[in-house]
Chain A
Amino acid sequence: MMDAVFLQFLNGLDKGSAYALIALGLTLIFGTLGVVNFAHGALFMIGAFCAVVTRKILTLESVVLSATEKTPWGTPKEIKTAYVEAWFGDFGATMIEYSILFSILFAIPVMMIIGIVMERGLIKHFYKRPHADQILVTFGLAIVLQEIIKAWFGANPIPQPAPASLTGSIDIGIWLGMTADALVYPLWRLIYFVFSAVIIGATFAFLQLTTYGMVVRAGMADRETVGLLGINIDRRFTFMFGMAAVITGLAGVMYTPILSPNYTLGMDFLVLCFVVVVVGGMGSLPGAIVAGFMLGILQSFAAMNEVKAIIPGIDQIIIYLVAVIVLMTRPRGLMGRKGVMED
């Protein structure tokens, strides 16, 4: 029984990691710019499709007609070779295998640019508009981004396998002194957790330890005063929007081996992540992380047969139920500040 509980805990970690990362990005945007971004799920989806694009580029093939071999229909057989393999040989094959690393490198500048363009091009016109307008215009943007992806990549999920050496499972039970096969966990999910922990740590370190981050935090607390000090806080906030897009995009890249990217991915995660942010408390970064992991793990526990036997359907509604309970009892979420978004 203990193993089962522990396994569910681990199972919740990867989902929780994804929630935490997306919610972190969402909260950064909200905390710095005060904007409710319904297009945030779309950023997660675009991140996932960065992985798809990278893999497509890496697997671009040259097609040569074979001189000797024939197809069963008598036409010359086509020999397809990926360019990278033709150029680099085995190393090229390894590059394709580990395309996700290149996806990460590719996604960082792409997401940064997308974030900055989004903020400068659209969001900045909505700072002084009511929150309802912000929700509505970003909701429209989310539809547009989703449809563009659908037009380019089609409506079907595109599987993105993890590198073969990282696809297996590891027997965590043995580490913990249990019998073999008592606790087997997919390796990639563990990597995802570690990855998100690193990103979260780096974000906090950036905000806490660098001067740039400190100015941003000061701006989050009191924008006008920081502006009076002669610091161009707007430019920094734009950069933070880009950074939030990068964080969310990377969450998407790394999630592709777990869930094949599809154009509806953004909308699927958006609702959940808004719930996460609200449960954590609007504008609270630690709140977003805690609520992300908490809800991921709770969702995983609710999926246990033992739990479902007691409360049927609980796995379907647990997240929303928690959201309702938290908002009813703690109006500002777990760690929210007073007076945020209550107009």
Chain B
Amino acid sequence: MFEKLKNNDKLIMLGFTIMVFAGPIILAPFGAGYPDLLQRFAIFGIFAIGFNILFGLTGYLSFGHAAFLGIGSYSAMWMFKLLTMNVIPALILSVIVSGLFSVVIGYMSLRRSGIYFSILTLAFAQMSYNLAYSVFTPITNGETGLQLRLQDARILDAVNTSGSLPSPMLFGLKLNATNVVEMFGMKLQFNWGFYFCAIILIAAFYVSLRIFRSPFGLMLRAVKTNQNRLNYTGINTRPYTLGAFVISGMYAGLAGALLVCTDPLAGPERMQWTASGEVVLMTILGGVGTLIGPVIGAGVIKYSENIFSKINDKVLEGYFAMMPESISDFLVFIVSPFVGSGWHLTLGLTFMLVVTFLPGGLVEGATRIFDWLGSIGKKTKSAKPGGNTEAAE
């Protein structure tokens, strides 16, 4: 049953679409149903899906993809400042610009492989970050970050007489508008910005699905398993890997543009190498080389960041309030380093455990559980070990 579902593209797309659209309802009980966080799930989902097209399929580990995220953000901001607050031109420009940058950076970095490739991408990203911070201040506004201002040109928009800063919109539909609906005894927040990001996420997921199933995707997976053989099989691997690099760079640019569509501020820190590391974590945690894994990984990390980091000692004491004071104090003492400002510790530990014991990420974990359940249900059907290759089919 699970096997069948995995290989039926229409069902996958249908299930994915329903899950994404129902996000505000499904995630509300977990305290994650508010627009800001939902938007981040979708945006970083797109970022990770794109990263996975490069890393998951070809095995080239880039440590510099945050640069494209930042480039996308800056391009979109300039569209907002000069042309219009409508998000469509901003998205188009940011995809084009990040695509151009990734052609150049990819062309040079892909001349090397292994760790040399990782270091080259890292070097390019750090250069972008340092320059955005310093000499490119006229374009990036340095440390403060690029912001909207009242006196911006916005030549396509009507003259702004309201005296307040405009907000990004889609043909007049303001993306920060939220409808609050009472349903199932909860206050559910349906936000236009989220649904805009969600539609793009679904499109991005569909494109990724098609790439996975295409001869192009097959060649990329062949690069990962044996590039040497592929060369002696008459395939010029360079344009294939460059294609994957540019596509993933464009995904990152798109995600960067969406970040400023939901919150119009672009700062250089989103180009820093820790941000590149974050997308690697998302992909690995969810399941590298799998379709849905990166989205799950992005969701889990962004959820932890927003929820765990808000838990402080007070909140913890609330959790353990029904226990005797000494036990409760002890538990708070044990747990508190892992939450609040220490949530990175939890993240790092989880990550180490996943890489060590579950290299296929959460998706592999789920596959194993399903197989195990299946083997209990039908003793005659032998359990297959789940793994990257299967999930990637």
Contacts and interface: CB of A to CB of B under 8 A. Distances in A.
Interface of A: 36, 122, 125, 131-133, 135-137, 139-144, 146-148, 150-151, 267, 271, 274-275, 278, 282, 312-313, 316-317, 320-321, 323-324, 327-328, 331, 341-343
A343 B114 contact: yes
A123 B113 CA distance: 23
Nearest to A274: B119
B123 A316 contact: no
Lowest 5 A-B CB distances belong to which pairs? A143-B348, A313-B135, A147-B345, A316-B130, A140-B351
Interface stretch (B12-20, B24-32, B147-155, B273-281): B273-281
A193 B252 CA distance: 43
B134 A316 contact: yes
Interface string B111-137: 111111011101110110011011110
B351 to A, nearest CB: 4
Of A141, A144, A331, most buried by chain B (CB within 10 Å of CB) is: A144
A34 B68 CA distance: 32
Of B273, B337, B342, B345, most buried by chain A (CB within 10 Å of CB) is: B345
A52 to B, nearest CB: 19
Contacts of B342: 147, 150-151
B88 interface: no
B344 interface: yes
A324 B116 CA distance: 10
Given A143-B344, A148-B345, A317-B127, A331 B112 contact: yes
Given A140-B352, A140-B355, A141-B348, A327 B131 contact: no
Contact of A151 (B108, B112, B118, B337): B337
Contacts of B287: none
B61 interface: yes
Contacts of B284: 136
B131 A316 contact: yes
B348 to A, nearest CB: 3
B114 A131 contact: yes
Given A312-B135, A317-B130, A324-B123, A144 B116 contact: no
A150 B118 CA distance: 28
Nearest to B59: A132
Of B344, B351, B355, most buried by chain A (CB within 10 Å of CB) is: B355
A243 B115 CA distance: 24
11 contacts: A136-B355, A139-B351, A143-B348, A147-B344, A150-B342, A275-B122, A313-B136, A316-B133, A321-B127, A323-B119, A327-B120
A131 B113 CA distance: 12
Given A313-B131, A343-B114, 10 more contacts: A122-B352, A135-B115, A140-B348, A143-B345, A143-B348, A146-B348, A275-B119, A278-B115, A313-B136, A316-B127
Contacts of A327: 112, 116, 119-120
Contact of A313 (B130, B277, B349, B351): B130
Contacts of B341: 150
Interface of A is mostly: helix
Given A136-B284, A313-B130, A313-B135, A143 B113 contact: no
B352 A141 contact: yes
Contacts of A271: 122, 126, 273
B282 to A, nearest CB: 12
B134 A136 contact: no
B118 A144 contact: no
B113 to A, nearest CB: 6
B356 interface: yes
Interface string B350-367: 011001100100000000
Contact of A341 (B115, B131, B273, B347): B115
B351 A143 contact: yes
B114 A342 contact: yes
Interface residues of B, number: 41
Nearest to B284: A136
A137 B123 contact: no
A328 B116 contact: no
A140 B134 contact: no
Given A147-B344, A313-B131, A274 B116 contact: no
A275 B111 contact: no
A316 B114 CA distance: 26
Contacts of B126: 271, 317, 320
B118 A135 contact: yes
Contacts of A148: 345
A20 B61 CA distance: 26
Contacts of B355: 133, 136-137, 140
B112 to A, nearest CB: 6
Contacts of B119: 274-275, 278, 323, 327
Nearest to A125: B356
A342 B118 CA distance: 12
Nearest to B359: A133
A63 B313 CA distance: 30
Contacts of B120: 323-324, 327
Contacts of A143: 344-345, 347-348, 351
Contacts of B274: 267
Contact of A328 (B108, B277, B348): B108
Contacts of B135: 312-313, 316
A320 B115 contact: no
Contacts of A122: 352, 356
A137 B352 contact: yes
A140 B127 contact: no
Contacts of A317: 126-127, 130-131
A131 to B, nearest CB: 6
B108 to A, nearest CB: 7
A313 B132 CA distance: 10
A312 B131 CA distance: 10
Nearest to B137: A313
A324 B108 contact: yes
Contacts of B122: 271, 274-275
Contacts of B337: 151
A320 B124 contact: yes
Interface string B84-125: 000000000000000000000000100111111011101110
